[in-house]
C-alpha cells in the first residue's frame, strides 16, 4: 500500500479542488493513503509539517467545483523560496522541506503548480530524491511548455468573458469603450482566448508589437461607439510606465474617445470550475496516479493531441524559454508563450480585431 502526498503551490485558480478530490478518490480506490500538505512548501517548513490525512468525506464531491485550494497555497511572509532567498536561508529552507518529506514517510508526492513551481521543483530536485515526484500543471496564464491545457485556464477564460458580457451592457448605454486589463503575466493566451470568445475590438498581448496611434485610429473607425479593448497585463508601451490599461485609456481620452478602464483582477482566478477544467482534472489525476503506480518520478502530466500522459520534468524545463527568476537568485523558469503559428491569431485578424503588427 502506497502513502502519497499532494500539495498546491503558487497562485490559486479554479480546478485545484477538483484535481485534489479526483486524486484522493483514485488513490483510495487503489487502497493508498493520501496526505494533504497544507500551504505547500510553507507547510513543509513548519515543525512539525502541517498536513491532513484524507478520507472520502474530507473534500466532498459537491464542493470540489469551488475555486481556491482546500489545502491553501501558502502564507504571505512565511518561509518559502522567495523569502528564503531574500534572507539568505535557501539552504536551510531546502533542508527543512526535505526533512519534513522524509518524516512524512511518503512514497510519492503530487505537486500541483504553475511553470514557476515546476521549474523550482526541477532546479531543486535533490529535495525530492527520496520519493517519486509527479507534477500536475495548473495556471490561468497557460504558460507551461509541452501541454495543450493547464488546470484553471478554461475557467479563467470564462470568467473574463462573463465580465465583458456584463460590462458591454453599460458600455452600450453610455456610448463608451472599456479598456479591460487581464492577467497572464508575460503570456497572452488568456487575453487572446477570452477576447476572441467575447468579440473584443482590440486584443493586445505581449507577443505581438502594436502601435498605439494605430489602435486609436482603429477604435475611431469602428461602426459603433462602444466596445471592449482587451489588454494583457504583460504588454509594454514604449516611453510609458504604469498599468497598460491606464496608459491606453489616457491616449483614447486625448483623442476624444469616451472610455473607462476596468480590472477583473482576482475574479479571473475564481468562479465555479467549468466542465472542461473538471474533465482535465480527472485526466491529469488519473495520469498522475498511473505514473506513481509505474514508479515514474520527476515527471509532469500533460495533454497532447487530446491524450493525457506524462513527460519528464527535464523535457518540460528544456522546452520553454528559460528566464532568470527575478526574486530568487540563480533560479530559472521555463516559459511558454503564444505561438506565432497559433491559428486563433489568424481568426482574430480575419474578424477585424486589432492585434498590432501582423507578421
* Catalytically annotated residues: 141
The distance from CA 260 to its chain's CA centroid, rounded to whole angstroms, is: 27
Question: What gap in Å lies between CA 274 and CA 129, rounded to an integer?
Answer: 36
The distance from CA 149 to its chain's CA centroid, rounded to whole angstroms, is: 10
Alpha helices per DSSP H over 199-243: 212-220
The distance from CA 44 to its chain's CA centroid, rounded to whole angstroms, is: 22
- Identify the sign of the CA torsion 316, 319, 185, 344: negative
DSSP assignment letter at 268: G
Q: DSSP secondary structure string, 108-141?
A: EEEEEE-HHHHHHHHHTGGGGTTSEEEEEEB-SS
HEC profile of 271-318? CCCCHHHHHHHHHHHHHHHHHHHCCCCCEEEEEECCEEEEEEHHHHHH
Q: Do residues 214 and 344 lie in contact, with contact meaning Cβ atoms separated by under 8 Å?
A: no
- Identify the sign of the CA torsion 13, 148, 115, 299: positive
Question: What gap in Å lies between CA 122 and CA 316, rounded to an integer?
Answer: 9
Amino acid at each position: 500500500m502506497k502513502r502519497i502526498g499532494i500539495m498546491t503551490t503558487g497562485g490559486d485558480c479554479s480546478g485545484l479542488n477538483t484535481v485534489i478530490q479526483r486524486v484522493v478518490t483514485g488513490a483510495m480506490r487503489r487502497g493508498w493513503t493520501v496526505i494533504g500538505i497544507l500551504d505547500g512548501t510553507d507547510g513543509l517548513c513548519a515543525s512539525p509539517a502541517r498536513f491532513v490525512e484524507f478520507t472520502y468525506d474530507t473534500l466532498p464531491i459537491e464542493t470540489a467545483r469551488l475555486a481556491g485550494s482546500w489545502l491553501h497555497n501558502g502564507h504571505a511572509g512565511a518561509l518559502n523560496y522567495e523569502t528564503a532567498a531574500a534572507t539568505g536561508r535557501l539552504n536551510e529552507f531546502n533542508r527543512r522541506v526535505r526533512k519534513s518529506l522524509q518524516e512524512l514517510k511518503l512514497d510519492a508526492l503530487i505537486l500541483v503548480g504553475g511553470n514557476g513551481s515546476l521549474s523550482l521543483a526541477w532546479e531543486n530536485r535533490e529535495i525530492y530524491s527520496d520519493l517519486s515526484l509527479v507534477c500536475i500543471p495548473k495556471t490561468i496564464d497557460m504558460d507551461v511548455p509541452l501541454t495543450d491545457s493547464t488546470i484553471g485556464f478554461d475557467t479563467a477564460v470564462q470568467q473574463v468573458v462573463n465580465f465583458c458580457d456584463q460590462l458591454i451592457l453599460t458600455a452600450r448605454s453610455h456610448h463608451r469603450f472599456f479598456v479591460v486589463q487581464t492577467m497572464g503575466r508575460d503570456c497572452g493566451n488568456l487575453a487572446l482566448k477570452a477576447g476572441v470568445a467575447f468579440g473584443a475590438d482590440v486584443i493586445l498581448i505581449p507577443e505581438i508589437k502594436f502601435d498605439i496611434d494605430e489602435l486609436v485610429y482603429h477604435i475611431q473607425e469602428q461602426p459603433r461607439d462602444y466596445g471592449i479593448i482587451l489588454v494583457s497585463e504583460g504588454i509594454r508601451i514604449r516611453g510609458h510606465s504604469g498599468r497598460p490599461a491606464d496608459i491606453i485609456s489616457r491616449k483614447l481620452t486625448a483623442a476624444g474617445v469616451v472610455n473607462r478602464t476596468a480590472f477583473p483582477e482576482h475574479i479571473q482566478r475564481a468562479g465555479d470550475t467549468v466542465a472542461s477544467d473538471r474533465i482535465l482534472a480527472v485526466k491529469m489525476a488519473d495520469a498522475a496516479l498511473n505514473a506513481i503506480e509505474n514508479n515514474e518520478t520527476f515527471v509532469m502530466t500533460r495533454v497532447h493531441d487530446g491524450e493525457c500522459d506524462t513527460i519528464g520534468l527535464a523535457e518540460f524545463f528544456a522546452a520553454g524559454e528559460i528566464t532568470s527568476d527575478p526574486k530568487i537568485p540563480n533560479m530559472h523558469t521555463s516559459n511558454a508563450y503564444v505561438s506565432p503559428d497559433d491559428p486563433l491569431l489568424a481568426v482574430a485578424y480575419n474578424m477585424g480585431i486589432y492585434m498590432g503588427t501582423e507578421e
